[in-house]
Structure 1
Amino acid sequence: MKLDDYPWLILPYQQLTLGILQQRAHHALLINYVQGSGEDTLIKLLANRLLCQSTEQLEPCFKCHSCQLFLANNHPDYYVIINEPNKQSIGIDQIRSLSSKVYEKSQQGNNKVIWIKRAALMTEAAANALLKTLEEPPLNTYFILSDEHNSQMLPTIHSRCFSYFLKVPKLEQSIEWLKKNHNLTYSDNELATALLLSENAPLSALALLAPEKWQQRKVFCENLLTTLPQNNYWQLAKTFDHEQFLERIIWFCALLSDALKAKQKVGRFIINRDQVTLVRLLATYSYEKITALYDLWLQARQHLLSINGLNKELIVCNVFAQSEVISNSY
C-alpha cells in the first residue's frame, strides 16, 4: 500500500489522517467514492494508521507489531464487514455479532477499527442496530463505512458520521498516470474514452483497457456499424453472451448520449472519442429514436440490477426485439 502509486490519493489521505495525528479523529467516517478510484487502498491505509502504535507521522510506520499484524491480514482488532456470499444484503446478525466484539477490550491495547464495505447493503434492521453503537461508541473504537457515491443510506446513519467524498482525479492527470505507470499502447483518445466510460476512475479504466476487454468493446462497436444500418439487432445478439449484456448496455447508452451531443453541436463533450464514425451514424437518427433506444436499454439495466430471479436471457432478447420495433417506428 504505497500512496506514491496513486498520487491523487495523497491529499485525501492527508486530510483524513490529520485528525488522527491531532487525536481528534471522528469515531465514524463515511466515505463515498466512484468505484475504481483507489478507495480500498485509501481505506486500508487509514485503518492501518489508526491501528499503528506510532503517533508521530501521517503514514503508518509499517514496523511496529500492530502494523506487522495488519500487513499479514491477521490483526485481532480489525474487522471487515461485507455481505456474505450469495446474499444481497448485510444482515442484522452480522451487526449484532460485531457489536458484541467492539465492546470488548482491544487485544493489542490500542484502537479497534471496523470497516463496513458497501454499507448501503445493510438492511434497515441492521442499520438501526449499528446506529445504537454509533450513538454510544466504545472508547478507542473507529468505524469506517464506505459505498459508492450514488448509494442510498439511512439519513440517521449519515447524521452520525463524518462524510467524505473521494474525488476522482482530473482527466489529464489520469491519462498521465496511465501512461507513466503502465505499459499501454493506446492513443490519448482511447485512454480518455476508457476513463470517461469509467467516470474517470483510473483503476476501473485500467481494467477496461486490459487487451481482451478493450478488444471486446472494439468488436462490439464494429458490429454496431454493421447491424445498425440493417436494423438487425438479433445479429448483434450473436456476438456476445447474455451475461455480458450489462457492460454492453453501458457502452451503447454512452454512444447514444454522444449522438445527442453531436446533434446539439457539443461534440467536444463526447465520451467515445475513438468511435467518431459510429457516433456520427447514430446522430443521423431522430431525437425521438435516440431517446427511445436509450430509455429502453437503460430500463433493461435497472431490471438486471434490481430484480432477482428474472431470466436474464429473456430480458436481453426483449431489448433486441424492442430495439428493432423502435428503429422501424421512427
Structure 2
Amino acid sequence: MILNDYPWLLLPYQQLADGIIQNRAHHAFLIRYVQGSGEDELIYKLASRLLCQASVNLEPCLNCHSCQLFLSRHHPDFYVISNELGKPSIGIDQVRNISSKIYEKSQQGGNKVIWVKYAASMTEAAANALLKTLEEPPENTYFILSDEHNSNLLPTIRSRCFSYFLPIPTLEQSMEWVKKQHSQPYSDNELACALLLSENAPLSAVALLAPEKWQQRKTFCENLLKLLPENDYWFLADTFEHEQFVERVIWFCALLSDALKAKQRAGRFIVNRDQVPLVRLLATLSNEKINALYDLWLQARRQLLSVTGLNKDLIIYNVLAQSELINCQ
C-alpha cells in the first residue's frame, strides 16, 4: 500500500480519499481502470483509509488495531466479492452471503468495506440483489466496485455509485517507471511496444516484459513469419498451450491493426515497433482479408472468455482453419 512506488496513483488516491477526511465520502465507489494500472494497490489503500480508526489525514495511521488487522489481511469488516475459481461470474449467493453480514454491527466498531472485484461479471440476479443494498446501505458501510473501463455494468448499479476512472500515466512516464523495474537490456522500441500492447498500463507491461513471457511473444511472431507465406496456420496449433490462446489473440490483432496502419502510411502509430518485417508482410494482404482475420480472432476471444462449457480446442482449431480459408479467397 505504499503508493510512492506508483507515483501516478498519488493524485487519484488524494482525490478519492479527500471526501473521507471531510466526512462526505460517497457510500459506493465505482472505479474503472485499464488492467495493470495499479488498480488493486489503489483500492487496498482506499479500503485501508476507510477502515482506519485513528487517522484524520489522507494516510491511514497503520498503527491502530484496525490498520494492523488490515495489514495482516485478516480484517473482519473487509469483505471481497469476486469470481469463484473456475467460474466466469459472481452469483447471487455470494452477494446474499455478504449482504446478510453487513447489516450486523461491525466487529471492530468502525466502518465496513465491501469490495466487488470485476463487478460487471455479476449475474443479473446478483446485480439486482446488490442494488437493493446500494439503495438502502447500512450505516458506516462503504462499497467499492471495480472493473475494466470497457466492461458493461447495469445502468441501475452505475447510477448508485460515484464513478471514477483511474488515469494511466503518459507513455514517457510509464517507460521511465518500467525501466526501473527491469534489469533486462530492453530497447526503447521494445519498452514502448510492451506498454502499447498493455494499453499503457505499467504493471501489465512489466509482466509482459518478464523474460519468459517476452520470449513467448517473440517466438509467436517468428512462427507467424514462417507460416504466412505458406498459409499454414495449423502450424500454430502445436506451438503453445491452448490456455494461452487468448493472449495470442491480443498479439495477433495488434499486428493486424499495425498492418492496416502501414497500408495507410501511418507507421508512426504502429504498436509492434520491434516487429516491422512481420507487419510489412501482413500489410501485403488486402484490407478485406486483414479485417476478416481480425474479426475472426476477436470473436474467438469473446467466446473463450464469456462462454462456459465450450470445447476450447475446437474453437481454436476452427479459428486456424478459417484463417487459412480467408487467405485462400
TM-score tier by shorter-chain length is over 0.9
Where in structure 1 are there 5+ consecutive unaligned residues?
A: none
Report the counterpart of residue 190 of structure 2 in structure 1. Answer: 190
Shift of 1:327: 1.1
Report the counterpart of residue 136 of structure 1 in structure 2. Answer: 136
Where in structure 2 are there 5+ consecutive unaligned residues?
A: none
Shift of 1:126: 1.5
Which stretch shifts more, 307-316 or 150-159?
A: 307-316
Shift of 1:105: 1.3
Report the counterpart of residue 253 of structure 1 in structure 2. Answer: 253
Question: What SS does the corresponding residue of 1:313 show, helix, strand or coil?
Answer: helix
Q: Deviations over 1:54-77 (max 9, x none)?
A: 232111111111100100111111
Q: Deviations over 1:234-264 (max 9, x none)?
A: 2232222222211111111110100000000
Question: What SS does the corresponding residue of 1:114 show, helix, strand or coil?
Answer: strand
Shift of 1:24: 0.6
Is the CA contact (8 Å cut-off) linking 1:31 and 1:163 kept in structure 2?
Answer: yes
Q: TM-score, normalised by structure 1?
A: 0.97
Q: Deviations over 1:255-285 (max 9, x none)?
A: 0100000000111111101101111111111
State the one-letter code of the partner of 1:95: V
Structure 1 segment 42-57 matched on structure 2, within 5 A: 42-57=42-57
Query: Which runs of 4 or more aligned residues in structure 1 lie more than 4 Å from their structure 2 counterparts after TM superposition?
Result: none
Report the counterpart of residue 37 of structure 1 in structure 2. Answer: 37
Question: What SS does the corresponding residue of 1:237 show, helix, strand or coil?
Answer: helix
Report the counterpart of residue 313 of structure 1 in structure 2. Answer: 313
Is the CA contact (8 Å cut-off) linking 2:30 and 2:163 kept in structure 1?
Answer: yes
Is the CA contact (8 Å cut-off) linking 2:55 and 2:61 kept in structure 1?
Answer: no
Mapped partners of 1:232, 1:125: distance in 2? 45
Report the counterpart of residue 112 of structure 2 in structure 1. Answer: 112
Mapped partners of 1:275, 1:13: distance in 2? 37
Which stretch shifts more, 22-31 or 130-139?
A: 130-139
Report the counterpart of residue 232 of structure 1 in structure 2. Answer: 232
- Give identity over the alignment, percent: 76
Is the CA contact (8 Å cut-off) linking 1:231 and 1:324 kept in structure 2?
Answer: yes
1:83 aligns with 2:83: yes
Is the CA contact (8 Å cut-off) linking 1:293 and 1:326 kept in structure 2?
Answer: yes
Is the CA contact (8 Å cut-off) linking 1:9 and 1:38 kept in structure 2?
Answer: yes
Mapped partners of 1:323, 1:125: distance in 2? 38
Mapped partners of 1:100, 1:327: distance in 2? 57
Which stretch shifts more, 257-266 or 74-83?
A: 74-83
Shift of 1:133: 1.3
Shift of 1:181: 3.3
Report the counterpart of residue 92 of structure 2 in structure 1. Answer: 92
Is the CA contact (8 Å cut-off) linking 1:234 and 1:320 kept in structure 2?
Answer: yes
Mapped partners of 1:149, 1:300: distance in 2? 21
Is the CA contact (8 Å cut-off) linking 1:50 and 1:113 kept in structure 2?
Answer: yes
Shift of 1:44: 0.5
Report the counterpart of residue 73 of structure 1 in structure 2. Answer: 73
Is the CA contact (8 Å cut-off) linking 1:77 and 1:112 kept in structure 2?
Answer: yes
Report the counterpart of residue 202 of structure 1 in structure 2. Answer: 202
Is the CA contact (8 Å cut-off) linking 2:296 and 2:319 kept in structure 1?
Answer: yes
1:221 aligns with 2:250: no
Is the CA contact (8 Å cut-off) linking 1:178 and 1:184 kept in structure 2?
Answer: no
Is the CA contact (8 Å cut-off) linking 1:49 and 1:58 kept in structure 2?
Answer: yes
Question: What SS does the corresponding residue of 2:199 show, helix, strand or coil?
Answer: coil
Mapped partners of 1:3, 1:80: distance in 2? 21
Question: What SS does the corresponding residue of 1:147 show, helix, strand or coil?
Answer: strand
Mapped partners of 2:198, 2:37: distance in 1? 10
Shift of 1:166: 0.7
1:281 aligns with 2:320: no
Is the CA contact (8 Å cut-off) linking 2:88 and 2:306 kept in structure 1?
Answer: no
Mapped partners of 2:266, 2:43: distance in 1? 38
Mapped partners of 1:258, 1:122: distance in 2? 35
Mapped partners of 1:269, 1:240: distance in 2? 29
Shift of 1:313: 1.3
Report the counterpart of residue 10 of structure 1 in structure 2. Answer: 10
Shift of 1:179: 0.9
State the one-letter code of the partner of 1:46: L
Report the counterpart of residue 167 of structure 1 in structure 2. Answer: 167
Mapped partners of 2:309, 2:111: distance in 1? 43
State the one-letter code of the partner of 1:31: I
Report the counterpart of residue 177 of structure 2 in structure 1. Answer: 177
Report the counterpart of residue 152 of structure 2 in structure 1. Answer: 152
Shift of 1:325: 1.4
Q: CA RMSD in A?
A: 1.2
Is the CA contact (8 Å cut-off) linking 1:223 and 1:236 kept in structure 2?
Answer: yes
Structure 1 segment 254-269 matched on structure 2, within 5 A: 254-269=254-269
